[in-house]
């Protein structure tokens, strides 16, 4: 009653050991809102609601650089004045954090040497 065939056991084990695979085509393609004929049109770009209807005069499709989202991918010459100010602010703050850490580290080392020299 509790026995299964060896073939069924092997197929069950092999299915459990394999991770589920999702076809890459399904991950990369989204259905375009403009369907031509009976076949759907696929594109690799994503269309977000309201991205074209804001009425902005900006023709560039890149995301605006701010203090919080700047990762340095956009060249300095391609930035607007506001984006240059944001990048400068971010890098100045980062430099301050590094400088504070460096000063703290040097202070700790100096304190340790003073304590070590005092105990000897």
Instruction: Give phi and psi for 110, each to the nearest 5.
Output: -65, -40
- The confidence score (pLDDT) of residue 118 equals 84
83 or 29, which is more confident?
A: 83
Q: Could you report the per-residue pLDDT of 15-57, keeping only the tens digit for each? A: 555 555 655 554 444 445 555 555 555 555 555 555 555 555 5
Q: Is 107 helix (H, G, I), strand (E, B) or coil?
A: helix
Mean pLDDT for the stretch of residues 81-93: 96
**Percentage of the chain modeled with pLDDT above 90:** 41
CA distances from 119 to 15, 80, 105, 114 (A): 67, 58, 21, 9
Mean pLDDT for the stretch of residues 5-17: 56
């Amino acid at each position: 009653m509790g026995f299964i065939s060896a073939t069924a056991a092997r197929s069950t084990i092999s299915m459990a050991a394999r991770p589920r695979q999702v076809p890459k085509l399904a991950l990369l393609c989204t259905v375009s809102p403009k369907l031509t004929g009976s076949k759907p049109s696929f594109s690799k770009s994503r269309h977000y609601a309201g991205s074209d209807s804001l009425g902005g005069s900006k023709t560039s499709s890149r995301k605006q650089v701010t203090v919080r989202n700047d990762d340095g991918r956009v060249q300095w010459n391609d930035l607007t004045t506001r984006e240059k100010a944001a990048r400068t602010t971010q890098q100045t703050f980062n430099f301050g954090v590094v400088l504070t850490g460096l000063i703290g580290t040097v202070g700790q080392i100096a304190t340790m040497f003073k304590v070590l020299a005092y105990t000897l």
